[in-house]
């Protein structure tokens, strides 16, 4: 958008700051449960990096509550200043910069990373910046390390691309500088509504776009500025991402969105059968994205995927601890997939929630052991844990030594 272009932004909206959001998908601890249940070796994560941390809530919470040493950058100086202030107050010794990706990725004083995360970045930057990030991942992610990356994708975004283009053009050609970014966004949405009110053929052929437009009207304008009004905005299919990331020598390892692991809430029986007939890999992901009309992917990639043996997988899964971050009393879990709300089986969920009702960490092995007496299998426990974690009611917990060490780090 014209008003947002200043020298250092390269077309990224910068005169409206990003929202203050926390994104659990960026928590390295989440990778352990996802990768372990997929039977993939997870590294011990000691040094991590977040690229484009926005207001820095996620990186600061992750740094303050763990022993992981965090590095990160976001080129918006107001956001970087807020993030640095949080880090100072938390005494977390986090290394936060206001450098562009290009400048940060060339620094010679950075360590190699066990984990690199970028949430809400890839789709909104130029191909030149994408190449910078891929080169960084190739050089700085340790072998065995985990990349977390989220991005807008197809086919979920396909029908909305022209609406975004229309609003961007309205802002560019019909907006005036004195409106400011938010004024231009409001005017662009109003115009799109006026256009849809005269029933253009595009709207009747793509009825879901009208619904999207309606939902835009109620969304936070700062979010909309960053989501829709950047010069660069490119949803990409899984296959395109795979092509980009091949240069960084990483392989797809699974989803950070735990609900994706439960087919029954995302896929019909017929879709599951069709997918079962395909080899796993890029084409499988493409077909699955069609089945769920995927719009936003949150993926883990690993540099050098290694498989766990069945025994190792069980041992490592059983050591993972989870904690209920919800009061048990009156809690009714709601699990939503792309197909439906999952039917919660009270015979499994109630005893599991009862075990966790004291809101203290419990290892999966402990839960399996206790619930065995109630004829609940280990696979059912794991599925219920993934579903509850995906809904935000459960979080992975650190072991006692890591908790004490994180505490000591900050208590003078």
CB of residue 27 to ligand SAM, shortest distance in Å: 13
Give, for 377, the enclosing helix (H) or strand (E): none
Complex with ligand SAM: residue 125 or 317, whichever CB lies closer: 125
Q: Which of residues 387-406 bind ligand SAM (CB under 6 A)?
A: none
DSSP state string for 28-77: HHHHHHHHHHTTB------EEEEES-TT-HHHHHHHHTSS-EEEEE-S-H
Instruction: State how beta strands 95-97 and 69-73 pair.
Output: parallel
Provide the mask over 75-114, with x wherever binding to ligand SAM is found by CB under 6 A and - wherever it is not: xx--x--------------------xx-------------
Contact call for residue 12 and ligand SAM (CB under 6 A): yes
Q: In what order do the strands lie in the sheet with 362-363?
A: 362-363, 321-324, 394-397
- Considering the rule CB under 6 A, would residue 18 count as an interface residue with ligand SAM? yes
Nearest residue (CB) to ligand SAM, 73 versus 326: 73
Q: How far is the CB of 127 from ligand SAM (least distance, A)?
A: 12
Calpha distance 161→235 (Å, rounded) = 9
What is the DSSP code string of 321-362?
Answer: EEEE-S-STT-----B-SS-B----HHHHHHHHHHTTT---E
Q: Which of 96, 105, 125, 321 binds ligand SAM (CB under 6 A)?
A: 125
Query: Of 75 and 229, which CB lies nearer to ligand SAM in the complex structure?
Result: 75
- Taking the C-alpha atoms of residue 70 and residue 48, their distance in angstroms, rounded to an integer, is 5
Count of residues that interact with ligand SAM, criterion CB under 6 A: 21
Q: Which two three-digit tokens encode residue 165?
A: 């283009």
Interface with ligand SAM includes 27 (CB under 6 A)? no
Count of H helices and E strands in the chain?
Answer: 18, 10
The verdict on 226 binding ligand SAM (CB under 6 A) reads: yes
- Nearest residue (CB) to ligand SAM, 99 versus 179: 99
The dihedral over CA atoms of 343, 347, 351, 353, expressed in degrees to the nearest 10, equals 10
Could you tell me how far CA 344 lies from the centroid of its own chain?
A: 25
Q: Smallest distance from the beta carbon of 389 to ligand SAM, in angstroms?
A: 19
Cα gap 385→353, rounded to integer Å: 10
Other CB atoms within 10 A of residue 334 CB: 10
Place of tokens 């990639």: 301
Which is nearer to ligand SAM, 59 or 291 (by Cβ)? 59
Q: Which is nearer to ligand SAM, 156 or 351 (CB)?
A: 156
Nearer to ligand SAM, 12 or 70 (CB): 12
Selected from 30, 62, 95, 119, the binder of ligand SAM by CB under 6 A is 119
Q: Which stretch binds ligand SAM (CB under 6 A): 37-45, 119-127, 159-167, 282-290?
A: 119-127
Instruction: With beta carbons less than 8 A apart as the criterion, state whether 295 and 153 touch.
Output: yes
Minimum separation from the CB atom of position 275 to ligand SAM (A)? 30
Phi, psi of 143 (to 5 degrees): -65, 140
Q: Give me 109's structure tokens.
A: 């004083």
Q: Which of residues 301-360 bind ligand SAM (CB under 6 A)?
A: none
- Min dist CB 156 to ligand SAM, Å, is 17
When asked if residue 299 is in the footprint of ligand SAM (CB under 6 A), the reply is: no
Q: Whose Cβ is closer to ligand SAM: residue 125's or residue 168's?
A: 125
Q: SS3 for 198-234, per residue?
A: CCCHHHHHCHHHHHHHHHHHCCCHHHHHHHHCCCCCC
* Interacting positions 33-72 with ligand SAM (CB under 6 A): 52-54
Among 2, 6, 21, 200, binds ligand SAM (CB under 6 A): 21
Nearer to ligand SAM, 19 or 323 (CB): 19
Q: Which residue is nearest to ligand SAM (CB)?
A: 54
Q: How far is the CB of 22 from ligand SAM (least distance, A)?
A: 8
- Helices 161-169/207-217 angle, 10° precision: 50
Between CA 73 and CA 113 the distance in angstroms is 14
Per-residue contact track with ligand SAM, 165 to 204, x per CB under 6 A? Answer: ----------------------------------------
Task: Give the residues lining the site for ligand SAM (CB under 6 A).
Answer: 12, 18, 21, 23, 52-54, 73-76, 79, 100-101, 119-121, 124-125, 129, 226
């Amino acid at each position: 958008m014209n008003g947002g272009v200043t020298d250092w932004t390269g077309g990224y909206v910068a005169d409206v700051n990003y929202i203050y959001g926390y994104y659990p998908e960026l928590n390295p601890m989440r990778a352990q449960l996802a990768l372990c249940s997929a039977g993939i070796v997870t590294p011990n994560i000691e040094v991590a990096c977040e690229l484009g941390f926005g207001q820095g809530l996620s990186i600061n919470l992750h740094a303050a509550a763990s022993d992981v040493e965090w590095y990160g950058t976001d080129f918006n100086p107001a956001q970087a200043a807020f993030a640095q202030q949080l880090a100072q107050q938390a005494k977390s010794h986090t290394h936060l910069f206001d450098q562009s990706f290009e400048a940060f990725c060339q620094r010679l004083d950075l360590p190699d990373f066990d984990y690199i995360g970028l949430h809400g970045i890839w789709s909104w930057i130029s191909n030149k910046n994408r190449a910078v990030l891929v080169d960084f991942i190739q050089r700085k992610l340790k072998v065995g390390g985990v990349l977390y990356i989220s991005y807008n994708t197809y086919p979920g975004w396909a029908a909305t691309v022209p609406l975004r283009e229309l609003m961007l053009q309205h802002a560019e050609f019909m907006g005036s500088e004195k409106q400011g970014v938010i004024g231009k966004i409001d005017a662009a949405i109003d115009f799109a509504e006026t256009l849809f009110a005269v029933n253009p053929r595009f709207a009747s052929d793509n009825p879901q776009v009208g619904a999207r437009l309606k939902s835009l009207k109620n969304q936070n304008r700062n979010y909309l500025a960053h989501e829709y009004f950047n010069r660069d905005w490119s949803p990409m299919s899984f296959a395109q991402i795979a092509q980009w990331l091949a240069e960084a020598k990483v392989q797809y390892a699974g989803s950070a969105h735990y609900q994706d692991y439960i087919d029954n809430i995302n896929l019909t029986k017929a879709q599951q059968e069709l997918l079962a007939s395909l080899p796993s890999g890029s084409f499988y992901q493409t077909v699955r994205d069609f089945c769920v009309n995927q719009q936003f992917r949150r993926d883990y990639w690993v540099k050098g995927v290694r498989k766990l043996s069945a025994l190792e997988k069980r041992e490592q899964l059983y050591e993972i601890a989870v904690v209920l971050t919800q009061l048990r009393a009156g809690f009714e879990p709601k699990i939503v997939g792309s197909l439906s709300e999952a039917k919660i089986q009270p015979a499994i969920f109630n005893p599991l929630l009862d075990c966790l009702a004291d809101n203290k960490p419990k290892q999966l092995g402990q839960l399996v052991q206790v619930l065995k007496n109630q004829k609940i299998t280990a696979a059912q426990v794991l599925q219920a844990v993934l579903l509850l974690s995906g809904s935000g009611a459960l979080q992975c917990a650190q072991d006692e030594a890591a908790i004490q060490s994180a505490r000591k780090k900050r208590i003078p």
